[in-house]
Structure 1
């Protein structure tokens, strides 16, 4: 075994250990990429994740030259490229030399900084079995073609990264399943215990009203019945939030059923095809729940409109009521925990949540999620 082969095996071992230890995706990829660059002649690298629709995201990069770092890596994030095109067409199977890179060329031509001699890069798909995740690109100065040995080493690292990405995705799925099971268990417990107790109190208070002839006693039992009925409605809404009933029948049907449970009259307008990943679908459902809860509690109206517009790049989700509205001051914190929850959920998917409201003229919630 040559010295170079021995050093490559040592490098792969160190990268494998790092990948196995990390549990967060981006720190894991940045760490592995950094270690790879330090152990080879490559000087810079970047990783794209590419979804099923071909939309790419710059997920990690290390030691980029000034020209490629300019303005938040704008030249890496925009424009076309041979490697991405070949990847989308499923023609990129292994580590390859790139004849030319339009993004690097655009960065050089724009004269926004030193390119450090980087003109061409090597590329390799990140995959595990039949699943593909994106691309690993690396480069070194004044090099237009990389050797077979360099490409083989790059392919080995990409294989390790692909396996680690798959492991993290599987771990996350297991965690989400465990969370769903726990929500279901808690929902069952609430339904079987607290929910049934509240229902029993409403029946008892109703009987008390009928059994007494004294007005004060009747009024007391009537107050108990109304308070208990309100608590029962709150409890049913909480159980719905823990375990969405009907989501398996479709997002729209689940939202309509939840609105019915809150005694709201909901009109839904849809344009585009509703075929969302499960995480996006659940987020939209949770957002709808919070929005409808806010209408029931604060808007003083039972009439709600909902609009869902799906384009090739975005989901626009709007909830509109003609209620009493509120003073919306963007400089102050959001006025309710529910509104902050909506914002947090949407931002977790890279989206935005905004409210337009005016006293006496209702409230409009506008959600935009990249798709």
Structure 2
């Protein structure tokens, strides 16, 4: 078989693998393993990069012990020449990297066996104008990649970039479908259960007014109180499913939500930028949880919302002047709601800060890059 036909066969096989999956890490792991098998190379790893330049080890195959020790810790931390070149936008095609800085550092620190790996080729992963990260491959004692090898790696990298874009679009479609379903469920709850509870409350109220027997009045009054409490819970649930007013921005939605909870909210808004939908949704969910906590636990009816938008970051702070509680940076976050806020923030590579002292209120601050 000619080299050209062999390369076409490899690209076809890689394309089939890429088209099968929808989970990013599973797809990258499978493709990397197969790529090494069909090319005869031994070691490889894929870094996914975010907008801030931070890298994430998304797949790795046959790393030498010096790089694989402590659950690939050396690969997950620090910088290197290929990452720096990618972040400086100087990596535009498949390139021979003369030496691997991570291997060099491991040798200097006597971190373990390197199995003869000293060099690797680096290829940027992208599709159209989008950049996703880098593919690195190498073999023991291989110090140079031929032009034909780099061309094949570049073609595979483009296939991987296209697949990553497809997965990203698929996930976005799934998120949109989820929002649509939540909106449908919210409408159904409003039109059915919410109306039934309202009718029950009116019926109980009428029962109180119609009867003269004190025990019956108390029973109807109890039913009315339960119906009103259930109505309040239902309205809050509908708000969580379908935030009416979010189309006017997250600040407007949080103002309305605070009003629904019976809170007075003071706002301070600075900056202006178009916020991505996923970021806005996250800020909305975190804001809901923070305002609900204020209502339930702070023993105050006033909250303060600060919202600052810059060109590459958004900062949101929600503070109350209530009772507060004991908390320090070395103490575990005390509630599931607060842990959920932190998890939502970090899922978007953001930073979550919590401050609270008895008698001094509570403040949460969210910083999310975009």
Q: Shorter-chain TM-score category?
A: 0.7 to 0.9
Q: How far apart are the structure 2 equivalents of 1:65 and 1:313?
A: 38
Q: CA deviation at 1:231?
A: 1.9
1:324-367 deviation per Cα after TM superposition (whole angstroms, max 9, x unaligned): 5678899999666x456445544544667686767777555566
Aligned twin of 1:79: 79
Aligned twin of 2:244: 245
Cα distance 1:93–1:185, how it changes in 2: closer, same or farther (>3 A)? same
Unaligned stretches of 5+ residues in structure 2: none
SS in 2 for 1:39: helix
SS in 2 for 1:190: helix
Q: TM-score, normalised by structure 2?
A: 0.81
1:252-276 deviation per Cα after TM superposition (whole angstroms, max 9, x unaligned): 2222221111111233456777765
Aligned twin of 1:95: 94
Moved more, 361-370 or 262-271: 361-370
Q: How far apart are the structure 2 equivalents of 1:311 and 1:62?
A: 40
Cα distance 1:51–1:187, how it changes in 2: closer, same or farther (>3 A)? same
1:155-234 matches, cutoff 5 A: 155-207=154-206, 220-234=219-233
1:1-371 matches, cutoff 5 A: 1-2=1-2, 4-71=3-70, 72-74=72-74, 77-81=77-81, 83-207=82-206, 220-268=219-267, 276-306=275-305, 319-323=318-322, 338=337, 341-342=340-341, 344-346=343-345, 348-349=347-348, 363=362, 365=364
Structure 2 contact 273–311 (Cα < 8 Å) conserved: no
Q: CA deviation at 1:23?
A: 2.3
Q: How far apart are the structure 2 equivalents of 1:276 and 1:45?
A: 36
What RMSD in Å do the two structures reach over aligned CA positions?
Answer: 3.7
Cα distance 1:354–1:86, how it changes in 2: closer, same or farther (>3 A)? closer
Q: CA deviation at 1:175?
A: 1.3
Structure 1 contact 76–104 (Cα < 8 Å) conserved: no
Q: How far apart are the structure 2 equivalents of 1:353 and 1:216?
A: 52
Q: How far apart are the structure 2 equivalents of 1:149 and 1:248?
A: 52
Structure 1 contact 58–77 (Cα < 8 Å) conserved: no
1:55-101 deviation per Cα after TM superposition (whole angstroms, max 9, x unaligned): 332222222223333453436631252x4444345443321222455
